Amino acid sequence: MTHDLTILYDTILFMMSTDGNVNNEILGGLEELGLSQYEASAYYSLLGKGMVSATEIAYFSNLPRTKIYFILKKLEKKNLVFINYQKPLMFRALSPKDSFGNILSKYENRIKSLKKIIESLQQINENGLKNKGIEEKRYLVLNQFSTDSKIIELIKNTNESIDISLNHWGNVILNASKEEILKAIYRGVKVRILFDFMCRDDSIILPNAIDKKSAKISTNMYIFDNNSMIIINNDGTKSAYFDSHEIFVPTLVSQFNDTWVKMETVSLENNKVESINL
């Protein structure tokens, strides 16, 4: 938000330096920085005019003359206007750079305070849920491109094992990460893959170092070091990433292991998966 305010401030300074009619975007920006509609109009009208009278300001800004003194006094309190109190009263706009720099500093301090309040509210919420035996969890939903990138990232960080279950469409996903899987095998990572019975014979080439079995697979799933996983929908367009804190991760790990034990090791010829030696 601070960055956005800085951009807004720079934009206002640039637009104020150009000639032309009063721009609604400038006035809107001034209002976002804390000025009222009347204050924004009066301050904008003062810019670049030096010392002017209240009557002139009312004319330039099209504001009611009965309210102009009150508006200018408020601008003075905000360090945006200098008032010469010798009669007749004269007014001059102060430097936008200096004036709005102070306003931005106030916003930054306000944002810091709001962040602390939000953190306190979050803590109150979490403590309340914990006392009721409820724990809030989140997971990441990824698109197809992010899924491939996330899988490759997790493979690179895997130290011990990668377990994969693939339905008849899943070989497309496996092909995208095959090179990283080969590198993981060279590092000593154990890789097991459960293929669906419907996997095509020419869809992928895998090394003998990968343990392979066939089973009835409905869900594409990658498990990394038995504590994090990615579950991918049937067409590979979306996926969800879960870490070890999710309660069902150990359950799905056990389910994979049970299926693995029940199924016989696949004959490469019967499984129609071509092998290559490392």
Mean pLDDT along residues 241-269: 76
269 and 144 co-located in one domain = yes
Tell me, what's the pLDDT at 98? 81
Domain that holds residue 7: 2-99
- Using pLDDT thresholds of 50, 70 and 90, give the confidence band for residue 6: low
Tell me, what's the pLDDT at 270? 42
Tell me, what's the pLDDT at 164? 92
Angle at 182 between CA 151 and CA 204, to 5 degrees: 80
163 and 263 co-located in one domain = yes
pLDDT greater at residue 67 or residue 29: 67
22 and 147 co-located in one domain = no
Number of domains comprising the chain: 2
71 and 182 co-located in one domain = no
Mean pLDDT along residues 140-156: 83
For the cut 70, the answer to whether the pLDDT of residue 81 exceeds it is yes
In a 10 Å sphere around its CB, with 0-12 CB exposed, 13-18 middle and 19+ buried, how is residue 270 labelled? Answer: exposed
Q: Which of 56, 132, 151 is nearest to 124 (CA)?
A: 132
For the cut 70, the answer to whether the pLDDT of residue 246 exceeds it is no
Position 118 in a domain: no
Position 179 in a domain: yes
Position 54 in a domain: yes
Asked if residue 207 has a cis previous peptide bond (ω within 30° of 0), the answer is no
Position 105 in a domain: no
Tell me, what's the pLDDT at 268? 42
267 and 154 co-located in one domain = yes
82 and 160 co-located in one domain = no
Position 146 in a domain: yes
Mean pLDDT along residues 211-229: 87
Among 69, 99, 129, where does a domain finish?
A: 99
CATH code, domain with 77: 1.10.10.10
Say which amino acid occupies 13: L
Position 74 in a domain: yes
Mean pLDDT along residues 13-32: 63
- Using pLDDT thresholds of 50, 70 and 90, give the confidence band for residue 224: very high
Chain mean pLDDT for the chain: 78
Tell me, what's the pLDDT at 13? 52
Among 75, 99, 123, where does a domain finish?
A: 99
Position 257 in a domain: yes
244 and 186 co-located in one domain = yes
Summarised one tens digit per residue, pLDDT across range 162-188 is 999 888 777 777 888 888 999 999 999
CATH code, domain with 182: 3.30.870.10
Tell me, what's the pLDDT at 183? 92
Mean pLDDT along residues 226-242: 82
Angle at 246 between CA 229 and CA 220, to 5 degrees: 30
For the cut 90, the answer to whether the pLDDT of residue 155 exceeds it is yes
75 and 181 co-located in one domain = no
Proportion of the chain above pLDDT 90, given as a percent: 13
Tell me, what's the pLDDT at 184? 92
Helix or strand or coil: residue 162? strand
258 and 185 co-located in one domain = yes
147 and 86 co-located in one domain = no
pLDDT greater at residue 113 or residue 34: 113
Mean pLDDT along residues 130-136: 60
Tell me, what's the pLDDT at 274? 40
Position 67 in a domain: yes
72 and 149 co-located in one domain = no
Among 71, 99, 127, where does a domain finish?
A: 99
Tell me, what's the pLDDT at 19? 44
